[in-house]
Chain A
Amino acid sequence: MGSGTPIFESVVLAAPVMLLAFMGVVLMVAAAMWRPMPRLAFWGVSCASVASALLLVAAGAGAPATEAFSGMLRIDAYGNFFAAVSLLAGLFSLLVADSYMERIGVRVGEFYSLVLFALCGMLGMAYSNDLMMTFISLEVMSIAVYVLCAIKRADERAVESGFKYFILGAFSSGILLYGVAFVYGATGSTSLPAIAHALRSANGEAAGFLALGGALLLVGFGFKVAAVPFHMWVADVYQGAPTAVTALMASGVKAASIAAFGRLVIGAMGDDAANWNGALWWMSAATMLVGNLAALAQNDLKRIFAYSGVAHAGYLLMALSSVAAGGAVGNEGIGSLAFYMLAYTLMNAGAFAVLSLMTNEAGDDATDISRLAGLGRSHPLVAAGLSICLVSLAGLPPTMGFIGKFYLFSAAIGSGEIGLAFVGAIGAAAGVYYYLRPMVYMYMREGHAELATDGRARLALGLTSALLIIFGLMPTAVLEWANASMASVLG
């Protein structure tokens, strides 16, 4: 099982994961002993932990790929990229969390501890080099997020959201795990390189187990990234959960799941990935169409963003599918997956910052689209920031979303996935309608939209919208980083 990296070296290599786990425990103990919690101390410590983890990831960026913990983790540029994306998602939702949680009347220090545990799980998924490790990290992340959804204990909708997420999450984990069991049965290992090796010589009974295991893994990951037809939980869960938690779920959880799925498809399946491409193709096409069409009919902004998240999962699966079809080696479109994931995280973080502001000082948590009416006049800067995020989500220039979509579609066409790109284009065209609808409300409807006075959420919005424009105009450096990180999976 891999190289015998000494345990201390492994701990140092996985320093960001260790830091988050340690600080999560510290905050959990502090929250139990220190009531009522000193809000700013908890918020500050959790932000500092996530920022330090981000710095640690950045510090290890140049190092060559190394295995840690007997090959359980693989610290490479791919893992670093998705770890950075998850940590950014965590940082942005922490920025809005403190003031938002105060407004909805949740004053528990455990919130920050659970966010750190969830991020720890996400990092584990990004670096995981073994299906069993992926499962454990997935559960570390998911169990924390189940609790976060229902953290407003007296709120019927929050508890309903947490419970629905829990049942569907546990159900899909079971399916995923059964897939792991069959892959283990067929190949004798759960380590991705060993699976890749065994795939080249699989035949007879083993091939049957492998096909069954692969199908179960596909369904399990389908639930996790909210791909059609496994997406029905998304809207209710996103709507009921506190907005700061939904922000983390929409981008961080998705980034981690896509990272683990991508490593499986690119790293372990290798040449065999083409055999799975039929299933990926249909999943991606259905997800792009159903996600975009379902969003058209929604009036609640959280539900709109839930289905928009489904549609974006479809775009990301299209990127995976084009890697599977075109082969990973020498594929120029390979970076589109990572690049688009970063773009999606930034635009989502900005949009959810505005949604959190819509919860006013009275704790009124409604996010109906009509409450945006007149925002362009009453809060021109916030309206401008949200517009940039929406334009980026719609994939229009001059934003990062445009570059990402352009790159995604050209990668699909370059790999011969012209049909899929066509379906995606239809979906994206439908998407323009529901992304521009909030802008119509903001600028063309009379009303007096009220927003909470929260400087940190405005800072998050300002940062994300500025980054979306900057990376939209100058994408080269990020594109190169994305390409290099995707290529590093192949070692």
Chain B
Amino acid sequence: MDSVGLMPVLVVSGVLFTLGVIGVLTRKNALIVFMSVELMLNAVNLAFVAFSRQNASMDGHIFAIFVMAVAAAEAAVGLALVILLFRNRVTVKLDDLDRMRG
């Protein structure tokens, strides 16, 4: 069990997080952008759990559960917004969101 140290887990977490950030910044589909945000949150959870083991405290595990609860609430609102968007515009492409210009 102890063969995996802190650093390898953090590297995986960092890669996941970076993939999420790149996804948010470059993808054009609202749903994929939303999935990328969820990927970032999962990277955070992984980091919390890894640090929790490193610090020998349970706090990080509890935080991960908090984050999951918040992510679920966010997903409920986010998917509802995507549906509203599709109802109004019949598209979920972010490039089409140009009703406001200044």
Contacts and interface: CB of A to CB of B under 8 A. Distances in A.
Nearest to A174: B40
Interface string B46-87: 011011001101011001001100100110011001101100
B24 A167 contact: yes
Nearest to B10: A185
A109 interface: no
A124 interface: no
Contacts, number: 116
A160 B34 contact: no
Contacts of A412: none
A170 B78 contact: yes
B37 A185 contact: no
Given A163-B82, A166-B78, A171 B24 contact: yes
A159 B99 CA distance: 10
B30 interface: yes
B37 A164 contact: no
Contact of B81 (A139, A154, A163, A236): A163
A143 B77 contact: yes
Interface stretch (A266-274, A297-305, A435-443): A297-305
Interface string A303-329: 100000000000000000000000000
Interface string B84-96: 1100110000000
Contacts of A300: 102
B97 interface: yes
Contacts of A26: none
Contacts of B55: 184-185, 188
A184 B60 contact: yes
A135 B66 CA distance: 10
B41 A181 contact: no
Contact of B51 (A146, A171, A184): A184
A174 B44 contact: yes
A136 B24 contact: no
A150 interface: yes
A240 B100 CA distance: 8
A175 B70 CA distance: 14
A157 interface: yes
A372 to B, nearest CB: 17
Given A160-B99, A163-B85, A298-B102, A181 B57 contact: no
B59 A156 contact: no
A459 interface: no
| B50, B89, B97, most chain A CB atoms within 10 A | B97
Q: Is the interface of B mostly helix, strand, loop or mixed?
A: helix
A164 B94 CA distance: 9
A184 B49 CA distance: 11
Contacts of A240: 99-100
Interface string B18-54: 0011001000001001100100110110011011001
A139 B99 contact: no
A160 B85 contact: yes
A430 interface: no
Contacts of A153: 84
B97 A177 contact: no
A146 B66 CA distance: 20
Contact of B59 (A139, A163, A166, A190): A190
Contact of B41 (A132, A150, A161, A174): A174
A159 B88 contact: yes
A170 B37 CA distance: 7
A139 B73 contact: yes
B34 A167 contact: yes
B87 to A, nearest CB: 8
Contact of B74 (A136, A155, A170, A235): A170
B70 A139 contact: yes
A239 interface: yes
B24 A297 contact: no
A189 B51 CA distance: 10
A159 B88 CA distance: 8
B20 A174 contact: yes
Contacts of A182: 47
A146 B77 contact: yes
B40 A157 contact: no
A299 B34 CA distance: 32
A181 B100 contact: no
Given A160-B100, A184-B51, A300-B102, A154 B88 contact: yes
Contacts of A174: 17, 20, 37, 40-41, 44
23 contacts: A146-B77, A160-B85, A162-B84, A163-B84, A163-B97, A164-B97, A166-B77, A167-B24, A167-B33, A167-B78, A170-B78, A171-B21, A171-B37, A171-B40, A174-B44, A177-B44, A178-B47, A180-B44, A185-B51, A188-B55, A189-B59, A297-B102, A298-B102
Given A139-B73, A143-B73, A159-B81, 6 more contacts: A156-B88, A163-B82, A174-B17, A181-B60, A184-B48, A184-B51
Interface of A: 132, 135-136, 139, 143, 146-147, 150, 153-157, 159-164, 166-167, 170-171, 173-175, 177-178, 180-182, 184-185, 188-190, 235-236, 239-240, 297-300, 303
Report the 4 A-B pairs with minimum CB-CB distance, sorted nearest first: A174-B40, A185-B51, A181-B47, A303-B102
